[in-house]
Amino acid sequence: MAGNKCVVYIEPGKVQVEKIEYPKLELEAQHRKCEHGVILRVIATNICGSDQHMVRGRTTAPKGQTLGHEITGEVIETGRDVEFIKVGDIVSVPFNIACGRCRMCKTGHTGVCLNVNPARPGAAYGYVDMGGWIGGQAEYVMVPYADWNLLKFPDKQQAMEKMKDLTMLSDIFPTGYHGAFSAGVTTGSTVYVAGAGPVGLACAASCQLLGAAVVIVGDMNPERLAQAKSFGCETVDLRKDAELPDMIAQIVGEPIVDAAVDCVGFEARGHGQGATEAPATVLNDVMTITRAAGRVGIPGLYVTGDPGGIDESAKKGRLGVDIGLGWAKSLSFTTGQTPVMRYHRQLMMAILNDKIQIAKAVNATVIPLSEAPKGYQDFDKGVAKKFVLDPHGLIKK
């Protein structure tokens, strides 16, 4: 039987590639076969900012936690009950694990499936408190409910040619798009995107795809701001001791935008030189600059358990959010895991028909699985790259 290797969390600041069991078509927690599942040979699997929260020690992830929820692969084995996905298919795996049978799945809320995590609604591969599913930063992985979850690419050769783009469909492209779409971005919108990490860049590119007139990206990292500029975004450097509404006004002529998206999450920092962590900063920023009766997308991650939180409230996910301002302005908010299946087919078609170059926007950078620890270190330093792991050397460079 083939072996398997996977990226594993060791301690804060440290991951390593370890040998783990080759996947089986089994549901370990339920002690029964998983006849609705498939085993994939992983073609591409990406390092995500959400993974970094764990690796920094900012979640309750235990030592030995397998990592990786952004997965694209080739089907090499199918369970008895899989009818439509076939061996040899190349597929994108939504990071949300969903059964397709529960009330939430039937209404399109696949990010909060009720049957795949005994602790709470919603599950994901290789993530703390998300159901115990084995991570996909590996050579091989098992995917349950395959007919429901998997997105098959229509042409294998074309898929391999565009793999650096298509691998973004498992998470950051739908997540960025969800942030923009749920914020109401449309033709002619002015938009503020907080954060120029990979999700923020994917969101900015999604805003352009949706027809925004002006997309402004805010960050404190010059390299990441330069990456946003590279595909036509306006930028604001939050290291400056200037008020955000004033910086917005210099670009669009008024201190407000039509829509705003928080692509930072709970490790947000304040503004200006020497700013320290202030986890409610972005949430309060976006409420301040969004027009009355506007909408705010919040794909940035917020947690209920943060051992490194700045105070006892923050350690429990309780932040100093100015909800009174949001109420007074009649703002609408959309939070939570992105329901990837709501968007991934349309976004696949946009990629395959050259309507967007998402890999270029996020600066997709392919490295072998063995270099994952260095990729995590570099990503943590703020490089403007989206690291794509290539376990089998199959991705066209």
pLDDT tens profile 83-117:
999 999 999 999 999 999 999 999 999 999 999 99
Residue 22 has pLDDT above 70, yes or no: yes
Burial of 43 (0-12, 13-18, 19+ CB in 10 A): buried
Residue 60 has pLDDT above 70, yes or no: yes
Burial of 371 (0-12, 13-18, 19+ CB in 10 A): middle
Alpha carbon dihedral 340, 345, 346, 347, in 10-degree steps, equals 70
Per-residue confidence at 21, pLDDT binned at 50, 70, 90?
very high
Q: Which pLDDT score is estimated for 396?
A: 85
The residue behind tokens 């919040």 is 298
Q: Which pLDDT score is estimated for 28?
A: 75
Per-residue confidence at 1, pLDDT binned at 50, 70, 90?
low
As a whole number of angstroms, the distance between CA 92 and CA 97 comes to: 12
Indicate the CATH number of 5-171+339-390 among 2.115.10.20, 3.30.70.360, 3.90.79.10, 3.90.180.10.
Answer: 3.90.180.10
Which residue ranges make up each domain of the chain? Answer: 5-171+339-390, 173-335
Residue partners of 43: CB distance under 8 A and separation at least 6? 72, 73, 74, 90, 160, 163, 167, 390, 391, 392, 394, 395
Residue 255 has pLDDT above 90, yes or no: yes
Average model confidence (pLDDT) for the chain?
96
pLDDT tens profile 267-321:
999 999 889 999 999 999 999 999 999 999 999 999 999 999 999 999 999 999 9
Average pLDDT rounded to a whole number, residues 163-192: 98
Identify the CA nearest to 288 among candidates 251, 324, 325. 325
Percent of the chain with pLDDT over 70: 99
What CATH class does 173-335 carry?
A: alpha beta
Q: What is the pTM of this model?
A: 0.97
Which phi and psi angles does 11 have, rounded to 5°?
-165, 170
